[in-house]
Chain A
Amino acid sequence: MDRSNHIATVRRIEWIGTNLLRLITLLTALPVIGVILYIFARGMPAISLEFLTQMPREGMRAGGILPTIIGTFYLTLGTAIFSVPLGVAAGIYIAEYAPDNQLTRLIRIAIINLAGIPSVVYGLFGLGLFVLFLGFGTSILAASLTLSIMTLPVIISTTEEALRSVPNAFRVVSLSMGGTRWQTTWRITLPQALPGVITGIILGLERAAGETAPILFTGAAFFLPRLPHSPLDATMALPYHIYVISTSVPGMPVQIQYGTVLVLLIFVLGMNLIATLIRNRARARRQW
């Protein structure tokens, strides 16, 4: 009798616990879903072919936002050019080559801390190093380099993690057959880790695409009447443009503000979606 009472109590607690956790989880997802739905609802009316393909007119209060889209595309591409080879190479070195010693640990700690630095600090660093000291000026080049430094730790860590998740038995087998470390990495470990590496790259670039502070002093322009023609030109960019039209342009139509935010959101969510698809595909194909 006492025992069946106990079982009933345990069952009740289990039911309450499960549903409470479920409710809390739903609540945390709510703001994200809310933001996305709200931005879509308010921004969709602004979206048109003209909005996406025309230059701004009437002090940015009308026309399109083409230069900001192009600018963000260039900045993301520039960031990828610098940060992907460097980040992947460093990740491979740390995961596959680096001996476990004081220096390696120091490097790893530095990389982890690099990820924790506020983005505005990167912006000021980029201003000092790339814009002024190296003389790149306020340019796509300087801004891309600044964003690259910010993105590097993400790419290095995810590359390292993806490589470490590949079973060690594969390395041992390859080495035992007369493979060098590089052959083993190139033929076995890296291909197996590639989906994870690519996911990390996309997530890193996605963050770079949405950042305002690092490009604020290094490459973003308030308004430019023409598209950038060289890496040494400054550029308009989506995140900074959102800041500008939200704070510094009196009489800005609200619809354009929401429309611009929506374009950035789609840009970033689109990258996220690609990363998720790659990960899921790889998971389905994985044999180990």
Chain B
Amino acid sequence: MEKLIIVQNLNLVYSDGVESLIDVNLDIIANSVNVFFGPAGGGKSSLLRAFNRLNDLADVARISGRILFHEMDILDPTTDVIELRRRIGMVFSRPVPLPLTVYENISYGLKLAGERRKSRLDEAVEDALRLAVLWDEVHDRLNDPAYSLSGGQQQRLCLARVLALKPDVVMLDEPTSALDPVSTARIEGLLLDLRERFTLIVVPHNVQQAARIADYAGFFLQGRLVEYAAGKELFLNPKLKDTQDYVTGRFG
């Protein structure tokens, strides 16, 4: 049970005054599916975007606390964000293929990192597509525009694109919210398989999904981490009333 990321007293306020994260303390456990769930506006996405400093692009008025990742303090202004983002990859809620070919999408991150050798790129593209269980479907369409793939394929492409960088952590923010049930099931199965090689942080798009995939689950409500537990504990025996109400579908 190795702690890969340690969050200490994290507070985040947007410039419109909204307190998005309040006193969050939390560990991300390596080689597990770490799930954050709860109603919209609870702070889940803000937390993900703190991990890869994507919040730098948003209107953040104040952020305090510490996020430790290996030897790095993520929030330290001198932290190399480029290096950080290569190690903590992210998949977004709607599949966003870059307007390039399938091959170029997967090799994009490596090219950014300066890899030019064709053989290395070919190898990395195939590995990543196999990891995302997309290779068999697209191996003969590598030079087609990524937009020609179906929605479910596009999302696995986005996952493969992140995996190609061999990150330590893969974050997925409601990765199945734009997908049909079959594609959703494939992605969920995939995440469980990927645990062996990566640490996953997932914001699921509903409670059922959270319960299906969570190794560790945190329930977020209005910026606070209300309850946190290992395994299915949070869904079977929630300790707090808020959690219980949300898990049983009484609100949210």
Contact = CB atoms under 8 A, between A and B. Distances in A.
Contact of A192 (B52, B89, B99, B161): B99
Name the residue among A178, A192, A287 with the largest chain B CB count within 10 angstroms: A178
Nearest to B113: A178
Given A169-B92, A188-B99, A287-B145, A177 B108 contact: yes
A183 B113 CA distance: 10
A253 to B, nearest CB: 55
A140 B81 CA distance: 49
Nearest to A169: B96
Interface string B202-231: 000000000000000000000000000000
B165 A178 contact: yes
A268 B228 CA distance: 69
Contacts of B98: 170, 173-174, 188
Interface string A171-207: 0111111111001000110001000000000000000
A176 B112 contact: no
Interface in B81-116: 82-83, 85-86, 89-90, 92, 94, 96, 98-100, 108-109, 111-113
A213 B111 CA distance: 49
Report whether over half of chain A's contact residues are helix, strand or loop; otherwise say mixed: helix
B160 interface: no
Interface in B32-77: 52, 54, 57
B149 to A, nearest CB: 11
A177 B89 contact: yes
A172 B91 CA distance: 11
A179 B89 CA distance: 12
B112 A178 contact: yes
A172 B113 CA distance: 17
B14 interface: no
B60 to A, nearest CB: 14
Contacts of A176: 52, 54, 85, 89-90
Nearest to A287: B147
B99 A288 contact: yes
B121 interface: no
A175 B57 contact: yes
A178 B99 contact: no
A183 B162 CA distance: 17
Nearest to B164: A177
A154 to B, nearest CB: 26
A186 to B, nearest CB: 10
A1 to B, nearest CB: 50
A155 B94 CA distance: 34
Contacts of B113: 178
Interface residues of A, number: 17
A192 B99 CA distance: 8
Interface in A68-91: none
Given A183-B112, A188-B98, A288-B147, A172 B165 contact: no
A79 B131 CA distance: 53
Given A172-B92, A287-B147, A288-B147, A177 B109 contact: yes
Interface string B153-174: 0000010011001000000000
A173 B112 CA distance: 12
Interface string B129-159: 0000000000000000101000000000010
Given A172-B54, A287-B147, A288-B147, A178 B96 contact: no
Given A173-B98, A188-B98, A178 B86 contact: yes
Contact of B54 (A169, A175, A188, A287): A175
A173 B96 contact: yes
Contacts of A192: 99
Nearest to B54: A176
Given A170-B98, A172-B57, A178 B109 contact: yes
A99 to B, nearest CB: 12
Nearest to B148: A287
Contacts of B96: 169-170, 172-173
Nearest to A176: B90
A195 to B, nearest CB: 12
Contacts of A179: 82, 112
Contacts of A173: 92, 96, 98, 158
12 contacts: A169-B92, A174-B108, A175-B54, A177-B89, A177-B112, A177-B161, A177-B162, A179-B112, A187-B108, A188-B99, A287-B99, A288-B99
Interface of B: 52, 54, 57, 82-83, 85-86, 89-90, 92, 94, 96, 98-100, 108-109, 111-113, 145, 147, 158, 161-162, 165
Given A170-B98, A172-B54, A177-B161, 11 more contacts: A172-B57, A172-B96, A173-B92, A173-B96, A174-B112, A176-B54, A177-B85, A178-B113, A179-B82, A180-B112, A183-B112
